[in-house]
Structure 1
Amino acid sequence: MNWKNVLCVYPYRTDPLFRFWRIPPIGLEIVASAIKPFVDNVEIIDMRFEDDAAPYIKDKDLICFSLNWGNPKAIGGSSKFDLEFVFNTINSVPKGKTVVAGGRFATDYADMLLKELPRIDIIIRGYGEDPMVELFKKGSPAGIEGISYRDSDKIIHNKDRNQLVITGTYPDRSLRKYRYTALSMGVDSIYASQGCPFKCIYCEFTEKKWLSRSADSIIEELKTMDEDVEIVFFTDNNVFHDMDRMDKLCDAIKREGIKKRYLAQCRVESLVKRPDVIKKLGEAGFLIGVGIESFNEDVLRWLKKGYKPDLIWQAFENVRKTDILALGFFIIGNYKETREDMLRTADLAKAAGLDFINVSRLLCYPKTELYSIMSKLPDYHIDENRNIVYSDYYSIKDLSKIRKAINRRFYSPLHFLRTFSRFSYHFNVLRVLRQMTLEIILRGIFKKGRWIDRFLYLTNKYNIFYPIDFIFNTILKAGGRLLDRIASRKAMHIAN
C-alpha cells in the first residue's frame, strides 16, 4: 500500500480522567510526527473540538484512531468512555480506506476489536511510532512486530515488539489545530520516560524496566511549546525515578528561564533519595502526584509497594519544606482492610501535608497479579463491568460511601482555605476563576467553536484586571503562609 494522505483521530468527545482539562493526545501526535516524512499530508483532529469527522476523512486514504480508554464489556454499547460514538466514528469510514487503531485499549483488546469492528484493518500494539514507520516503509503489516491485522477472514497477531526503546521523537506542534487548556490555562504534555521497575500487584503495565530521555532532550522539547502554555503535564508514570536527571533538568530550566508549572507523577521513594533536588523541584515549579496507596503497613506489603509508612513520613517531610502542591493517590477496599483503616486515611494524609487526595476503590484487571490472587479468594469478588474489587464485608456501595466520608473528612473548611491559598503560590487565582467561569458560560451556550478558544486566549493574555489580581494574590499568599504554619503544628500532633 502507498498511503499519502493520512488523518489521525482522537475519537473521544470527553476525557474520562480529566473532566475539566483538555490535554493534547501526545501519543497520537508523536505517531503523526514520525510518519510525516513519508506522506504528502498528515492531519490531526480531536473530537473534543469537532462535531463530525466525516469532512476530514473524505480525502484521506489512511485513518489512524487513538483508542486509549475503554471497557471490553461496553463493546457495541455506550459507557463512560463514550465508546458508542467512538465505534460509530470508526465504522463510518468508507470502504477502500485503511483504518489503523492504536493506544492502550487497542493494545489490550486487539483480538476483540478486530472481531467486533470490521472497519479496523490494523492494530498497533504498544508504542506506535516505530511500527508505523516500518509499516510505511514496507507497505504491508506482514511480519512487523507489535502489529495485529486482518487478512481476508483471518486475524493475525505478529509477535510482540521490544518496547523499551526511547526514540527521542516528540510531537511536531505545528500540526495542532487547537488550544489545549487545564483550568482555562494553556497546557501541553511531554513524554520523558517509559517503563517501571516496580512490581505492584495491581499494575497493568508489563514493562519492568525504566528508560528515559536526557535532561537536554526534555529542555529542547520544552522550548518548542507555545508561550501561552503555563502548565506542562508529564505523562510518565514515574518521572522522578532518576533524581540525578531531575537535578540536571531543574538546573537547565532555571538556566534557560523557562517559567511554567510542571505536573509530574512519582513514587514515595523518589522524594526521599535527594532532599536537595526536592528543593530545586519546588523552585523550578513542579507540582506532584504521588502513588501512596495506603498508610497501613500490612496493606502496603500486600500491594507489594516496596516501602513502609515511615518512608511516607520522611518523603513528605522533605516536600513540606517547599511550595510544592502535592496530590496523594490512595486505594481502599484492600485485602483485610477495615472501615477504620480506610477512614484514617484522611487524618494521616492531612498530617503528611498533602494538599489534595484522590481515593479510588481497588481495581483488578485480567492481566495483573492481583487478578490471579483475587480469583482464589472466596470472600472477595470482582465486578465484571467496572473491574472493582468488593467483598462479603464491604459492597461496592459501602466502599463508595466510605470514599465520600474520607473526602469529607479530609477537605475540611480550614484545609480547603489553606489549599486555596497555597494555589496562589503558583497561579493567578482570580484570573483562573474568572477564565473558568467565562469558559463554562460560553461552552454552555455555544457548545463548541474555535472562536471560543481564541476569545479565551486573548482575555487570558491581555488581562486588564492584573492590578486587582496582584493585590488579591499577595494577600492570599500571606494567608497561605500563616495557614501553613498552623497546619504544620496540627500535623505534628496527629503524626505523634
Structure 2
Amino acid sequence: MRIALIYPAFGVVSVVNQPNIKAVADNYGIYPNISLAYVAGALQKAGHELIFLDGMASGYSLNDMAERVIKFRPDIMMFTVTTYLFHETARVIGYFREKWPAKVIVGGQHVTLFPKETLLKKVIDIGIVGEAEKSIIEVLGKIEKKKSLKTVKGICYRENKKIVLTEPREKIKDLDSIPFPARNLLPMSKYYSFISKYRNYTILMSSRGCTFQCTFCEQRSGDIRYRSAKNVADEMEECYYRYKVREIDVFDPLFTINKKRVIEICMEIQKRKIRIAWSCRSRVDTIDEEMLIEMKKAGCYRIYFGIESGDEQILRNIKKFTKKQQIRKAIYLTKKHRILAFGYFMFGNPGETRQSIRNTINLAKSLPLDYAQFNRLSTLPGTTMYEELKSEMGYDYWREYVKDRGVEHPLPRLRCGMSDKELNRWIKKAYMEFYFRPSFVLRTLSRVQSLPELERYVKAGISMIKN
C-alpha cells in the first residue's frame, strides 16, 4: 500500500496547560518524530511504499505538504496525535482529507489514553492503542484484503457508525525485533536541539518504560524493557555511516537505571570505535563514578538530570525521594569526568511556596551545571498526579477537553495556589539569574563550537529578555 506519514509544523500554538514559557518553546529545536519514524521502519520492512513529510524540519507549509500528498496518491495517511495539540491536529487532518480522500490512522500515547474520544472526530478512521509497530502491519493487511478489523488487538475504529475498541495488545517483549527508525525518509541534516553541537543530529531509544513512580511523569510504566547492547550499537553504527550522524540524543526516560547494561553498551561502542557524541537522561541516584568513566570513554558528553526541586519536602511530595546531597554528588562527579551537566527544574509542585522556589533557584545556581531548564508543572493525563487532581475536581478535564475544545482552561495545581502568571515570573527570574551571571556567560561563550550554535544562544537570550 501507499502510505503518507505526515508530521505538520505547529509552532507554539497555545500556552494553556503547557510547561514551557514562550521564550523556551520558541527556541527548543527541531526534533525528528522518532515514534512515527519507528512506524515507518516497520512499514518499510513489510514492503509498503512510503512518503514521510516533516513540515517543521523541511519548512513545508500545509499547502506544500498537501501538494506532495496529492502527487503521491496514498491509500493511507498517518499522523501522531498529542493531547495538547489534539484539536489543532484534527483540524490539520481535516485539511488533508479535503485535499485527498485517503483513510486516516493516528497513534501516540494520547490515543492509548483516550481512544474512543479521539474517534469522535469523523476525520479519523482508526487509532492505534499502545505500541504501533505490530498493530499497524495487521491493520493494513486487513484493509488490503477488505476484512474486518475486529480481530486486530490494540486499535479503535468506526464500524456502522459505532466506535469499536478491540482488546488490548501486549507490549512488545523483544525490542531487538523492531526495525530501526526509517531515517532514510527523514531530512536528517535539518534536525538539532537548542544545545546540540554537531550535525547530523538524531534521537535514539534504547529502552521503553520506567519503574520509578514520580507522580508528575507520564513515562512511569511499572516495568522496563531493554534493547541489547549489540542492537543499540548496531543502530549507532548505522546512524554514523549511513546517515552521517555525529550526535545522538538517547531519549530513554532513564538510560542509567541498569548499571550493568549501560557499561555493556559503552563497551560495545568502544569496541567498534564509533566516534559519535551522545547524551542521555538520568536520575541523580542511578549514576556512579564507574558508570561515568565508561560513558565518557564511549562518547557521552552531556547528561540531562531530572533534579526537579531544591526543596527536599517538595521532592518527597512528588515521590522523587532524592536528597540535595545526592544531587550535588551526581553533578560534581559528572563534571569531574568532563561531561556536561543539564538540570531540569519544575515550579508549581504540590506544596510549592515562594520559599521553595527560591530554594530551587539557589540550588541551581550553586551547582556547576552547564545548562538548566525551568518549567511550570503541567499536570499530564496518565500521571498519578492527574488522577489525584481529577478526584479533587470531580471530573476528567482532559477527557472533556478532547471531546470539546470549548472547555479549555488553566488546570489548578495540587496544594499550590500560585497562578501561571506568577509561576512564569518566577521562571523568567530563574533563567535570568542562572544564565546571565557574567561568569556563566563567559564560560558558555568559551565552549561555543560553531556560528549557528552562537546564533541560537544569542537568539534565545534576546527572546528571554523581551518576553
- The answer as to whether partners of 1:7 and 1:56 remain within 8 angstroms in 2 is no
- For residues 228-307 of structure 1, the aligned pairs below 5 Å read 228-271=244-287, 274-286=288-300, 287-307=302-322
Alignment RMSD (CA, Å): 2.9
Number of equivalences: 416
Pairing 1:45–2:50 present: no
Match of 1:195 in 2: 209
Cα drift, residue 329 of structure 1: 0.9
Cα drift, residue 141 of structure 1: 2.6
Distance 2:430 2:375 in 1: 11
- The answer as to whether partners of 1:363 and 1:388 remain within 8 angstroms in 2 is no
Match of 2:189 in 1: 179
SS at match of 2:152: coil
Match of 2:440 in 1: 415
Pairing 1:152–2:160 present: yes
SS at match of 1:320: helix
In our comparison, the structure showing a higher alpha carbon Rg is 1
Distance 1:102 1:214 in 2: 26
Match of 2:16 in 1: none
SS at match of 1:223: helix
Distance 2:221 2:12 in 1: 25
- The answer as to whether partners of 1:231 and 1:260 remain within 8 angstroms in 2 is yes
- Structure 1 residues 169-221: Cα deviation after superposition (integer angstroms, max 9, x where no partner): 21233333552321573211111100110111112235210111111111101
- Among 389, 406, 430, the residue aligned to 2:430: 406
Cα drift, residue 355 of structure 1: 1.4
- Structure 1 residues 285-332: Cα deviation after superposition (integer angstroms, max 9, x where no partner): 321111111121111111011332222122223212121111111111
Distance 2:3 2:93 in 1: 19
TM-score by length of 1: 0.76
Cα drift, residue 70 of structure 1: 2.7
Distance 1:392 1:136 in 2: 47
User: Cα 1:41–1:112, aligned 2, differ >3 Å: closer, same or farther?
Assistant: same
Cα drift, residue 437 of structure 1: 9.6
Cα drift, residue 241 of structure 1: 1.1
* More deviation, 304-313/17-26: 17-26
Distance 1:119 1:351 in 2: 52
- Among 29, 33, 50, the residue aligned to 2:37: 29
User: Cα 1:241–1:18, aligned 2, differ >3 Å: closer, same or farther?
Assistant: farther
Amino acid at match of 1:215: A
Cα drift, residue 387 of structure 1: 4.1
- Structure 1 residues 108-144: Cα deviation after superposition (integer angstroms, max 9, x where no partner): 333222112x121100122210111222344443122
Amino acid at match of 1:344: N
Identity of aligned residues (%): 26
SS at match of 2:319: coil
- The answer as to whether partners of 2:296 and 2:337 remain within 8 angstroms in 1 is yes
- The answer as to whether partners of 1:347 and 1:409 remain within 8 angstroms in 2 is no
- The answer as to whether partners of 2:216 and 2:380 remain within 8 angstroms in 1 is yes
- List gaps (5 residues or longer) in structure 1: 76-81, 439-496
- List gaps (5 residues or longer) in structure 2: 14-24, 398-406, 460-467
Cα drift, residue 91 of structure 1: 3.5
- Among 134, 139, 153, the residue aligned to 2:138: 134
- For residues 4-403 of structure 1, the aligned pairs below 5 Å read 4-14=1-11, 19-48=27-56, 49=58, 50-51=60-61, 52-58=64-70, 59-68=73-82, 70-71=84-85, 75=87, 83=89, 86-92=92-98, 94-95=100-101, 97-116=102-121, 118-139=122-143, 140-168=148-176, 169=178, 170-182=180-192, 185-205=199-219, 207-226=221-240, 228-271=244-287, 274-286=288-300, 287-374=302-389, 385-387=409-411, 389=413, 393-403=417-427
User: Cα 1:185–1:101, aligned 2, differ >3 Å: closer, same or farther?
Assistant: same
Amino acid at match of 1:120: I
Cα drift, residue 233 of structure 1: 1.5
Distance 1:431 1:15 in 2: 22
- The answer as to whether partners of 1:5 and 1:39 remain within 8 angstroms in 2 is no
- The answer as to whether partners of 2:266 and 2:294 remain within 8 angstroms in 1 is yes
Amino acid at match of 2:68: Y
- The answer as to whether partners of 2:214 and 2:220 remain within 8 angstroms in 1 is no
- Structure 1 residues 245-285: Cα deviation after superposition (integer angstroms, max 9, x where no partner): 111222222222222221211212222xx311112223333
Distance 2:286 2:50 in 1: 40
- The answer as to whether partners of 1:232 and 1:261 remain within 8 angstroms in 2 is yes
Amino acid at match of 1:410: F
- Structure 1 residues 52-107: Cα deviation after superposition (integer angstroms, max 9, x where no partner): 232333311111112246345xx2xxxxxx54763444433533x22111123333
User: Cα 1:264–1:159, aligned 2, differ >3 Å: closer, same or farther?
Assistant: same
User: Cα 1:201–1:436, aligned 2, differ >3 Å: closer, same or farther?
Assistant: closer
Amino acid at match of 1:175: L
Cα drift, residue 232 of structure 1: 0.7
Q: Return the structure number with greater relative CO, CA threshold 8 A, min gap 6.
A: 2
Cα drift, residue 341 of structure 1: 1.7
Amino acid at match of 2:441: F
Distance 1:242 1:403 in 2: 33
